[in-house]
Structure 1
Amino acid sequence: MSFPRQLARTHRFSLGVPHAFQISEDGRCVAFLRGRDGVDTATCLWVHETEGDTARVVADPRELGADDENLPPEERARRERLRESGGGIVAYSVDTAFSRAVFSLSGRLFYVDLSAGGSTPAELPATGPVVDPRISPGGDRVAYVAGGALRVIDVDAGEGGHGDRAVAEPDGPDVTWGLADFVAAEEMGRHRGFWWSPDGTSLLAARVDESGVARWHVDDPAAPEQEPTSLRYPAAGTDNPDVRLAVLPIAGGGPVWVEWDRRSLPYVPRAGWKRVGEDTPTVVFTAQSRDQRTLTVFDADPATGRVGEVRTDTDDVWVEIPSGVPAYTGSGALVWVARDPGTGERRVYVGDEPVSPTDVYVRSVLDVDADRILYSGSPAGRPGDVSLWYVDLATGNSGAVNIPGHGCSSASDADVHSGLRSGWLRDDTLLLQHRSMDFPGVRTLVFRDVSVESKRQRSEIESFAQTPDLPETLRVETWRAGEREIPTALVLPSWYRKGLRRLPVLMAPYGGPHAQRVLNARGAYLTAQWYAEQGFAVLIADGRGTPGISVEWEQAVHLDLAGPVLEDQVAALEDAAGRHPDLVDTERVGIHGWSFGGYLAALAVLRRPDVFHAAVAGAPVIDWKLYDTHYTERYLGTPQEHPEAYEGSSLLADAAKLERPLMMIHGLSDDNVVFAHTQRMSSALLAAGRRHTVLPLSGVTHMASDPVVAENLMLLQVEFLKDGLSRH
């Protein structure tokens, strides 16, 4: 099997990798999702016994008649927002006792006993099609969404059956309960729309009214017999949906509306519940202004809906939505991530006190367990490493999580670590996922009877992912390039030796916000290594706007998504040429990328044809007025307020400048970066008399998943780039 085919069949080597972990309160069991091998898309639900180091399947979708072709539209949209390309069981929830789990398959609802020797999964007679089922903390009920209504069903049937009933129903054709709206799921990282109270007596739910949002249609000309897909898309400068929150008592009664100034703070990035000891649960949520310069944490009385302001953060540019917070310590103190007024960088706070070091770039709070806080971050000056850090408020201890001899990295803060979930040091259980340049894939380790500084017992949850069909040792060199010290990686062919002819350069950036390519993990360079084997020196640079360095670095793209990102790609190329003048040929430079990387590729050949000689732009954003509100307005403001920012970042006016080969690839069914971007660019190029290539992909959304299509796309890109560079 060729590497491109293998890459597609394994879903970029993600199939067979354990993920979506949940740890029991006693630390003895870890639930997770994983296929049975590296090409199995029918993901199963497993339970790992930490003491016996064994894993067992508790639910196999094949045995339950799963059909991933028969999904509710809401579930298909939810998976697209999550970039979930697998099938089978893609999400599940467990009760507090870790005795039951629930999940949906093909719109049907199932529950399963998680105990050893438990029963086979059983279907509940839900009003389908079921979307996003969640079991109650007590394990006796399941809440789910069907037809825009939020419903609850009893797990154990009584005299009246399972008592499936609606607790909130839509009061209009464009109203839904319990689902995340488009921008919340796509841009804010909130993929849920309802949350059980800790005592299981009520639900906090989002009501979304999209009636004011513009209706767009995504069409596939290859299937003229099908009606176009209709969706509500909030493009920059247009109306967003109206999002409200309400507490819904399970025993009945009307909703208790949570009221805040939604006109000033319309976005709801986070929501959930807080409970300290035996106190009555309290609603907690965050709300953000449309210009994203204000972010407020609220709490609310679930009986009255009355809100109180807990904390408000402001920024003259934008306030980043922190991951993993708000959270609370055992005493009820707020755990938050905010900018330090002295350094300007983000730190972890407990109340008003910062508790993380000033020299750590904080990425996410992973877990708060009583007085212990776990978070991920990068040591100063090392954005390619993602390590784990802890704070113990009771003892005053803090630092990088260090487990000597854990068999992965020699330094506790080196490489890329992730995967910790709720349960950190709960009854002394720690789950760690580790990626490195030293071994392929990801290792998942579970430690029992562990303190922060020592270990006693270790088990491993095996990955079934395939080994890439590439040279065993990747030829990757990383450094910080130029005056701005841009994180840069150079990937060379395994066969290249000093003295051979200089190699053409293929730049492979993403280059935009919220994505980082230069990491100390083999998986970050697999595709780049394959392109290198085809005869390129592949150069990857994380310029301004990307995460991992500083707030100032991220905010450098404010009101200009074109200039800084393109300047940094050129600077990285010039630095590489200065370091390796006998290796890289700057007279033959190609560039390719997808999504923001596709925008950057097209931008490069249009505005710097003196540097870039051929480009492949996959699913490129061409006109930012066609992209969504929350993402675009964070960086460019609204088109009404800053028309010059949109004009300067749009590529349509540059069409007449094209003098280099440009191929644009775009899925016709893409509902994120819609095909209109490429279509309008093609029309502008045609009007200017500029030759170009467009490759439309029928039935494909934002990424091609069919193995044959994905393989041929890579081969066609190589052919196009080689041809374009040879003619230069």
Structure 2
Amino acid sequence: MSFPRQQARTQRFTIGVPRAFQISPDGQRVAFLRGRDGVDTGTCLWVHETEAGTESVVADPKALGADDENLPPEERARRERLRESGGGIVSYSVDDAFTRAVFTLSGRLFYVDLVGDGGAPRELPAATPVVDPRISPAGDRVAYVSGGAVRVIDVAAAESDHGDRVVAEPDGDHVTWGLAELVAAEEMGRYRGFWWAPDGSSLAVARVDESAVNTWYVSDPGRPGQEPTALRYPPAGGVNADVRLAVFPVGSAGAYRRDGRPSPTWVEWDREAFPYLSTVGWTTGPDGTPTVVLTAQDRGQRSLTLLSADPATGLVAEVRTDTDGVWVELMPGVPAHTASGDLVWIARGPEGPDGPGERRVYVGGTPVSPADVYVRGVVDVDGDRVLYTGSPAGSPGDVSLWLVDLATGLSAPVEVPGHGCSRSADSGAHSGLRSGRLRGGTLVVQHRSMDFAGVRTVVVRNADTETRRAYSEIPSLAEAPELPEPRVEFWRAGERRIPTALVLPSWYREDLRPLPVLMAPYGGPHAQRVLNARGAYLTAQWYAEQGFAVLIADGRGTPGIGVEWEQSIHLDLAAPVLDDQVAALRDAAARFPFLDTARVGIHGWSFGGFLAALAVLRRPDVFHAAVAGAPVIDWELYDTHYTERYLGTPQERPEAYVRSSLLEEAAKLERPLMMIHGLADDNVAFAHTQRMSSALMAAGRPHTVLPLSGVTHSPSDPTVAENLMLLQVEFLKENLRGE
């Protein structure tokens, strides 16, 4: 089987990898999602027994008649924002005691008991389609969204009456309750729209009014009889959705109106000054009273304010406000609180002679992360223990999990037993933002490394001690790539010490003909390509086997180095990122004389697609062919929250948009350019490629456009994904033949 086909059918070797972990309070059991093998897209819910080291299936979608083709539009949109291409059970929630789990299949609501023998999952008679079900902390009720309304259903009620009732329903056109708006899910990392109170008495629910947001239409010319899909999309400088927050009592009958609906208590903050609702959660005060906790950003994203709200009155109090003259980054996992009520937060260090310091983890105002660690996010807070991810100074390709125990003073990277590793056990990429969990002294760690293929999932018991730790593993069932072991050289390139990797063919010797270079960047914010993990280079290795030296560089704007590095792209998304690709190429050519710099190609997707097209337009002296997948061509067509963070609004900073746009440079094209774009893309609209193609046509510049019917921003169909790789490599080979 060819590698492109294998990679496509295994969804980049992610099928069969355990994920989405939940740990019981006593640390004895771990729930997770995983297919039955490396190509089984029907993801099952499993439970792992930590002492015995065994696992069993507790919910199998095939036994429940799941149909992933029959998904409600809201669920499809949610999965697109999550880049979730799997099927079966793709998410679930458990109660605080780890006795029940709930999930949805084909828009139907199911629950399964996790205690005793559990028994088979059972369906609840919820209003369909069901989207994003969340079980209450006590496990007796489930809140979910259906038709833009938030509803609550009882789990343990009599079979004839589960008390399914509406909590909040649309009160106007283009109004929804309990769902995240596009920019929240796409750019803020907030995929939810409702949150249970710790005692289960109330729900905090977001109300989203998109009536003033621009309407865009996504159509598929391959299906002329199908009506275009209307999408409320806020482009840079445009009108955002109006987002409010209300608290609804769901436990006390006295709080319900005469029509049987609970009365909302509106949480009123200064939404004109801080229109972006970035996070919502709850905490419990010293007296046991639940309190709503939320963060909100200003439109320019230079201020982030943390607020607490009384759920009974809606009155808010400012806890803290962080400001930055460029932008304040939204950091994963915060705010959070320890068992003693101390705030866990990530903020830049005090002002020094060179400006504000780097980001650090703070607990109650005291930094608990070392000053020389690049903090990536808080993973979990369990009592008085804090788990966070960070990279050691000077080593952005390594991602470590750090555990802080405030009671004992323990603060150190979490090490797992070696796995035939030639490097230290804590080298490589340790995941945590979605996978690492800590509870009851049990920790789940996922480890990727250059020393072994795939992903190791290690369960660490007594993780908060140095001497009594015990380990078990949850096996990955992912397929092994049918590909030579990646042959990768790492270094820091040029004066700016750009993290760089060169991937070479397994068969290449320096006495052979010099290799053409294929640059494969993402090159933009929030994405890092140069990691000490073998899986990061599988696609690059396949391209290398076709006869290329694949060069990957993480220039300014990418994470892993520091705040100043990330903010270097402010008001210019083009020049700094392109300059760093050129600098990395020149440095590589000086180090490796077998690189043929007369034959340099570049390909990328999304921001990487923008960078690929930018490269052949502005530097045809360096780049000789480009493949641009789903490229952002005109930043005025991209969404508010992302674009305005870096460029401001088009009304305030028109020159920044001119500097970063490719449309005005169409007449400069003199190198082969292929643009690939899904016609159903609702993130980077096909209009980007269409407008660029029109501008190139008007300028008389030949180019290639490959439109993909029915494909969104991330192609998931195995046939399409496979053939995209084959078509790209043929285009690059044809145009980088040389003399």
Structure 1 length as normaliser, TM-score?
0.98
Deviates more, 1:335-344 or 1:409-418: 409-418
Q: Which stretch of the first structure deviates more once superposed, 91-100 or 405-414?
A: 405-414
Identify which of 427, 445, 448 aligns with 1:435.
448
Structure 1, unaligned stretches of length 5 or more? none
* 2: CA distance, partners of 1:619 / 1:40: 28
Alignment deviations for residues 674-719 of structure 1 (CA, whole Å, 9 cap, x no partner): 0000000000000000000000000000122222211111111111
**Correspondence 1:625 to 2:622:** no
Q: How many residues align?
A: 726
Cα distance, 1:330 vs. partner?
A: 1.7
For 1:437 and 1:16, how far apart are their aligned partners in 2?
20
Does structure 1 conserve the Cα–Cα contact (< 8 Å) formed by 2:88 and 2:105?
yes
Deviation at 1:427, TM superposition (A): 3.0
Question: 2:669 aligned to 636, 658, 667, which one?
Answer: 658
* More moved, 343-352 vs 621-630: 343-352
Counterpart in the other structure of 2:178? 178
Deviations 1:223-256 (A, max 9, x none): 0110001110010000000000110100333100
Superimposed CA distance per residue, residues 92-134 of structure 1 (whole angstroms, 9 cap, x where no aligned partner): 0001111110000111000011124211010100011000000
- Structure 1 position 308 matched with structure 2 position 317: yes
**Aligned equivalent of 1:258:** 267
- Equivalent residues of 1:367, 1:422 under 8 A apart: no
Work out whether residues 628 and 674 of structure 2, in 8 Å CA contact, stay in contact via their aligned partners in 1.
yes
Q: Which residue of 2 aligns with 1:641?
A: 652
Partner of 2:259: none
> Which residue of structure 1 lines up, in the alignment, with residue 368 of structure 2?
355
Deviation readout 1:317-343 (Å, 9 max, x if unpaired) = 000001101011122111100011235
Q: Does the 8 Å contact 2:401/2:432 carry over to 1?
A: no
| Alignment-mate amino acid for residue 189 of structure 2 | G
Specify the alignment match of 2:86 in structure 1: 86
Distance 2:477 2:2 in 1: 19
Which deviates more from structure 2 when the two are superposed, residues 492-501 or residues 456-465?
456-465
SS at match of 2:646: helix
Residue 567 of structure 2 is matched in structure 1 by 555
Larger displacement relative to structure 2 (443-452 or 173-182): 443-452
Match of 1:111 in 2: 111
**Alpha-carbon distance change, 160 to 122 in structure 1, aligned in 2, over 3 angstroms:** closer
Whether 2:241 is the aligned partner of 1:267: answer: no
Determine helix, strand or coil for the equivalent of 1:726.
Answer: coil
The DSSP-based 3-state class of the residue aligned with 2:452 is coil
More deviation, 705-714/354-363:
705-714
| Counterpart among 299, 314, 319 of residue 290 in structure 1 | 299
Q: Which residue number in structure 1 is paired with residue 74 of structure 2?
A: 74
Amino acid at match of 1:637: G
- Structure 2 equivalent of residue 379 of structure 1: 392
Partner of 1:208: helix, strand, or coil? strand
| CA distance, structure 2, for counterparts of residue 711 and residue 317 of structure 1 | 41
2:519, 2:550 within 8 Å by CA — same for their partners in 1?
A: yes
Aligned to 1:695: 706
What's the CA shift for 1:421?
7.3
- SS, match of residue 71 in structure 2: coil
Distance in 1 (CA, whole Å) between partners of 2:571 and 2:513 is: 42
Q: Which runs of structure 1 show a deviation greater than 6 angstroms over 4 or more consecutive aligned residues? A: 420-423
**CA–CA separation in structure 2 for the residues paired with 1:133 and 1:391:** 32
Which structure 2 residues correspond to residues 516-595 of structure 1 after superposition, within 5 A? 516-581=528-593, 583-595=594-606
Cα offset, 1:423, TM superposition: 9.0
| CA displacement at 1:491 relative to structure 2 | 0.1
Tell me the residue number matched to 1:20: 20
Alignment deviations for residues 126-174 of structure 1 (CA, whole Å, 9 cap, x no partner): 0110000000011110000000000000012238600101000110120
| Structure 1 residues 451 and 350: alpha-carbon distance in aligned structure 2, compared to 1, 3 A threshold | closer
How far did residue 456 of structure 1 move?
Answer: 3.8
Matched, 1:317 2:329: no
How many angstroms apart in 1 are the aligned matches of 2:227 and 2:93? Answer: 35
Alignment map for 1:199-598 (pairs within 5 Å): 199-250=199-250, 251=252, 252=256, 253-276=262-285, 279-341=288-350, 342=352, 344-403=357-416, 410-419=423-432, 426-471=439-484, 473-581=485-593, 583-598=594-609
Secondary structure of 2:292's counterpart equals strand
Residue equivalent to 1:683: 694
Query: What is the CA distance between 1:409 and its match in structure 2?
Result: 7.2
Structure 2 CA distance for aligned equivalents of residues 188 and 75 of structure 1 = 18
Asked whether the equivalents of residues 674 and 706 of structure 2 are also in contact (C-alpha less than 8 Å), the reply is yes
User: Percent identity over the alignment?
Assistant: 76
Supply the distance in 2 between the matched residues of 1:156 and 1:398 (Cα, whole angstroms): 43
Q: Distance in 2 between matches of 1:491 and 1:276?
A: 53
Q: Is the Cα contact below 8 Å between 1:506 and 1:538 reproduced in 2? A: yes
Distance between the aligned counterparts of 1:704 and 1:400, measured in 2? 37
Whole-Å separation in 1 of the counterparts to 2:463 and 2:567: 40
**In 2, Cα distance between equivalents of 1:634 and 1:144:** 32
Instruction: Please give the per-residue CA displacement for 1:370-427, whole angstroms capped at 9, x wherever unaligned.
Output: 2221110000010000001122222333222235668767535421101477995533
> Given the superposition, is the C-alpha separation of residues 424 and 650 from structure 1 closer, same or farther in structure 2, using an over 3 Å criterion?
closer
What's the TM-score once normalised by structure 2's chain length? 0.96
Matches within 5 A, 1:665-676: 665-676=676-687
Computed over aligned residues only, the root mean square deviation of the Cα atoms, in angstroms, reads 1.5
SS at match of 1:152: strand
Residue type matched to 2:568 in 1?
A: A
